[in-house]
């Protein structure tokens, strides 16, 4: 499903060039539930953005579902984000002026779905995350956990093959985190590939496999059983 | 994403910042309203002036302008048109009516009161062609003209002046020393330039009997068709100059020249005020650009979210462009309504006709849209170029 080959990402700040990802090679199969862990600043988010087609690697190749997306044009990448990928962010990233239902409809708006289809599928999606009775609410009328559920419903609505969550429980308390992670497990059982970035070992336990990122490279095991934060 | 979807979204965002949107539109509103008012009043005024000067288009005045030579020899006449002239003019092919009159200034007395007035001796065609309607009493009959009866029709201003608005019908007034009976009062004139003057009208024959006037001082020809105006005028001057054995003393005005002159003046005025309005629209457009740039910055995160969900650069560009067009288009529409209302009020209170042509309205709408596009493209382009990752991180 995901094949990364010597992915390098570097930023140029003035005269200095900083290499954030230093050649990452890995494969993630369809239907996996992967957690990415590693110290702060190690490049987890940078890697996620490349996997999510929000960013392009400086060098290296990236195959997503057999397609070389590292050579895709901007509009092609936008289409991949729209159809194949669902994002869940730590800060929820909901549009404050739109109701839960309208927020969930957004990806379908860009997919060109009809109003009727959008409303139907968005309410199905919200029902699935247990927010059937909150559809007309604005984001600031919802709790953190509920907001994250809306974000997950939005990520689901175009039926993507891959869901990417960058610290989805980072802004939530423990009980709410458990509920959100259980939702991911459920989605994974239904066949969706899920990648979650997290600092919390309890969250990583929900995954089938953990990838460790350290200083822009992959490592199999944590060095001393944990990470400095 | 459909255009309709974009328009709905743009309207929502305009509504979300009502005060700001209205302030942004203000420049466009004022500019468009100014254009509408100026053009409406200019075109209305031009049409009115033309019709007032050229009459309703089917009359032409013949005037007498003696040459310097004739003036020096004292060989010129106070009342240059004879009854024979009138009869000859009536014979001309296309002439439907010959209006002839002669005027004097005199004092009119009613018992102890008196007022200065113009006394106009008229022929039978005068009232009809000049569209003077009787408000009270009756007009002149053929018998009045033939018999030279000492009866008079007076203006509404005269009724005010001498009779304090009471009915003067049947009253006898003295013109000079001669008694005349009032048989009718004219309607009050309407129109910006029609200040009611104190007038007394007599059948020309009565005037001749009373004052010993012979001949007429003023002659106007009426033709059936406007196209006949020029050739008929030329024929008339030929006939008159031949009858009086003069070179070029009898002339007609060239209406086309006058109309073109008026057109030129109003065109210059419209251009000047139009350019001022144009500058206001330009300033309005810059205001729109400014606010759209602010709006793009404020909505950086929204743009990042939309992009992460699959919006292309083009879709973002289009979203913001539609928003600025909607902004200027609403401004333009309000401007049109405001301008039309103002033009209407002006024509209502100043009694000045205004003409709002559909071309001007369509032009204003198209122009507002154009401003939206021209000044919206920069902010929209800026929005579309934002990096999604940076935008998502924007606080
Ligand atoms: N646009 C950028 N320009 C320059 N440097 C950047 C940019 N984006 C990220 N970096 C750098 O890349 C490194 C990795 O950042 P990244 O956000 O991927 O870390 P992370 O592993 O997600 O950390 P955290 O756990 O704190 O979220 C950091 O040192 C950061 O300063
Ligand atoms: Mg991160």
- Residue among A36, A29, A31 at smallest CA distance from A66: A29
- The bridge status of strand B172-175 relative to strand B134-137 is unpaired
Are B84 and B227 in a shared domain?
A: yes
Q: Would you say residue B59 lies in a domain?
A: no
- Residue of chain B with shortest Cα separation from A111: B1
- Residue among A109, A80, A105 at smallest CA distance from A94: A105
Q: Summarize pLDDT for A132-176 with one digit per residue, the tens.
A: 999 999 999 999 999 999 999 999 999 999 999 999 998 889 989
Domain boundary among B248, B273, B292: B248
Q: What is residue A228's predicted lDDT score, i.e. its pLDDT? A: 46
- The bridge status of strand A193-197 relative to strand A16-28 is unpaired
Q: Would you say residue B57 lies in a domain?
A: no
Domain boundary among B203, B221, B248: B248
Which range of residues forms the domain containing residue B229?
A: 66-248
Which neighbouring-strand residues pair with B97?
B222
Contact assessment for residue B108 and residue B235, using Cβ atoms and an 8 Å cutoff: no
Q: What is residue A126's predicted lDDT score, i.e. its pLDDT? A: 95
Contact assessment for residue A62 and residue A70, using Cβ atoms and an 8 Å cutoff: yes
Are B222 and B297 in a shared domain?
A: no
Q: Summarize pLDDT for B79-109 with one digit per residue, the tens.
A: 788 888 888 888 888 888 899 999 888 888 8
Are B332 and B189 in a shared domain?
A: no
Are B269 and B242 in a shared domain?
A: no
Output the CA torsion sign for A165, A166, A172, A173.
positive
Are B178 and B114 in a shared domain?
A: yes
Q: What is residue B317's predicted lDDT score, i.e. its pLDDT? A: 95
Q: Which residue has the tokens 């209205």?
A: B22
Contacts of A54 in chain B (CB under 8 A): 307-308, 388-389
Question: Distance between CA atoms of B112 and A203, rounded to whole angstroms?
Answer: 115
Beta carbon pairs, A and B, within 8 Å: 59
Are B191 and B231 in a shared domain?
A: yes
Our CA-based measurement puts residue A96 at a distance from the nearest CA of chain B, in whole angstroms, of: 9
- The bridge status of strand A162-166 relative to strand A193-197 is parallel
Classify burial at B57, counting beta carbons within 10 Å of its beta carbon; exposed 0-12, middle 13-18, buried 19 or more.
Answer: middle
Q: Would you say residue B226 lies in a domain?
A: yes
Q: Would you say residue B341 lies in a domain?
A: yes
Pocket test for ligand 1, best of A8, A21, A37, A43 (most atoms within 8 A of CB): A43
Domain boundary among B189, B223, B248: B248
Contacts of B341 (CB under 8 A, 6+ apart): none
**What percentage of chain B exceeds 70 in pLDDT?**
95
Enter the tokens of residue B63. Answer: 């005037």
Q: Would you say residue B58 lies in a domain?
A: no
Whether the pLDDT of residue A226 is over 60: the answer is no
- Residue among B146, B148, B202 at smallest CA distance from B174: B202
pTM for the full predicted model: 0.72
**Contact flag A110-B311 (C-beta cutoff 8 Å):** yes
Q: Summarize pLDDT for B309-320 with one digit per residue, the tens.
A: 999 999 999 999
Whether the pLDDT of residue B122 is over 80: the answer is yes
Our CA-based measurement puts residue A55 at a distance from the nearest CA of chain B, in whole angstroms, of: 8
Model confidence at B55, in pLDDT bands (50, 70, 90)?
low
Q: What is residue B270's predicted lDDT score, i.e. its pLDDT? A: 76
Are B170 and B266 in a shared domain?
A: no
Total domain count, chain B: 2
DSSP states of A50-99: HHTTSS--SEEEEEETTEEGGG--HHHHHHHHHHHEEEEETT----TTS-
Are B139 and B221 in a shared domain?
A: yes
Model confidence at A221, in pLDDT bands (50, 70, 90)?
low
């Amino acid at each position: 499903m995901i094949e990364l080959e010597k992915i390098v990402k570097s930023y140029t700040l003035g005269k200095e060039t900083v290499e954030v990802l230093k050649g990452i090679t890995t494969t993630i199969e369809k239907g996996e539930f992967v957690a990415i862990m590693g110290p702060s600043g190690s490049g987890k988010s940078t890697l996620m953005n490349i996997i999510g087609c929000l960013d392009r690697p400086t060098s290296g190749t990236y195959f997503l579902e057999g397609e070389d997306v590292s050579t895709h044009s901007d509009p092609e990448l936008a289409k991949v984000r729209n159809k194949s990928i669902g994002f869940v962010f730590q800060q929820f990233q909901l549009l404050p002026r739109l109701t839960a239902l309208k927020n969930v409809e957004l990806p379908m708006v860009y997919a060109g779905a009809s109003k009727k289809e959008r409303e139907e599928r968005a309410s199905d999606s919200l029902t699935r995350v247990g927010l059937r009775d909150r559809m007309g609410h604005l984001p600031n009328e919802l709790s953190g956990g509920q907001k994250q559920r809306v974000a997950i419903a939005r990520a689901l609505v175009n039926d993507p093959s891959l869901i990417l969550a960058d610290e989805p429980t980072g802004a939530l308390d423990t009980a709410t985190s458990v509920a959100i992670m259980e939702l991911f497990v459920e989605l994974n059982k239904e066949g969706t590939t899920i990648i979650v970035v997290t600092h919390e070992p309890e969250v990583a336990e929900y995954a089938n496999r953990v990838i460790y990122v350290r200083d822009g490279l992959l490592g199999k095991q944590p060095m001393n059983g944990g990470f400095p934060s | 994403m459909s255009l309709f979807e974009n328009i709905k979204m743009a309207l929502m965002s305009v509504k979300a910042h009502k005060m700001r949107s209205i302030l942004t539109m203000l420049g466009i509103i004022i500019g468009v309203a100014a254009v509408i008012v100026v053009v409406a009043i200019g075109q209305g005024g031009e049409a009115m002036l033309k019709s007032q000067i050229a009459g309703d288009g089917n009359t032409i005045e013949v005037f007498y302008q003696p040459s310097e030579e004739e003036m020096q020899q004292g060989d010129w006449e106070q009342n240059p048109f004879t009854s024979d002239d009138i009869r000859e003019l009536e014979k001309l092919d296309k002439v439907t009516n010959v209006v002839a009159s002669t005027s004097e200034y005199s004092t009119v007395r009613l018992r102890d009161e008196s007022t200065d007035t113009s006394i106009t001796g008229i022929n039978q065609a005068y009232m009809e062609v000049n569209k003077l309607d009787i408000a009270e009493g009756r007009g002149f009959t053929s018998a009045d003209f033939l018999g030279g009866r000492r009866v008079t029709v007076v203006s509404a201003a005269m009724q005010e002046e001498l009779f304090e608005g009471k009915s003067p019908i049947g009253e006898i007034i003295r013109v000079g020393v001669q008694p005349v009976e009032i048989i009718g009062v004219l309607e009050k004139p309407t129109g910006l330039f029609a200040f009611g003057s104190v007038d007394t009208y007599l059948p020309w024959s009565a005037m001749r009997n009373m004052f010993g006037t012979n001949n007429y001082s003023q002659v106007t020809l009426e033709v059936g068709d406007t196209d006949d105006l020029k050739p008929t005028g030329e024929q008339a001057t030929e006939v008159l100059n031949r009858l009086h054995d003069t070179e070029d003393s009898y002339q007609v005005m060239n209406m086309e020249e006058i109309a073109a002159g008026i057109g030129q003046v109003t065109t210059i005025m419209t251009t000047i005020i139009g350019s001022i309005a144009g500058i206001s629209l330009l300033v309005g457009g810059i205001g729109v650009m400014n606010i759209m740039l602010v709006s793009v910055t404020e909505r950086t995160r929204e743009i990042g979210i939309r992009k992460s969900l699959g919006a292309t650069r083009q879709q973002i560009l289009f979203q913001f462009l539609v928003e600025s067009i909607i902004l200027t288009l609403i401004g333009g529409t309000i401007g049109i309504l405001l301008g039309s209302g103002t033009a209407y009020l002006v024509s209502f209170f100043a009694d000045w006709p205004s003409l709002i042509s559909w071309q001007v309205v369509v032009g204003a709408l198209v122009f507002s849209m154009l401003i939206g596009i021209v000044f919206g493209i920069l902010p929209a382009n800026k929005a579309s170029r934002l990096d999604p990752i940076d935008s998502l991180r924007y606080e």
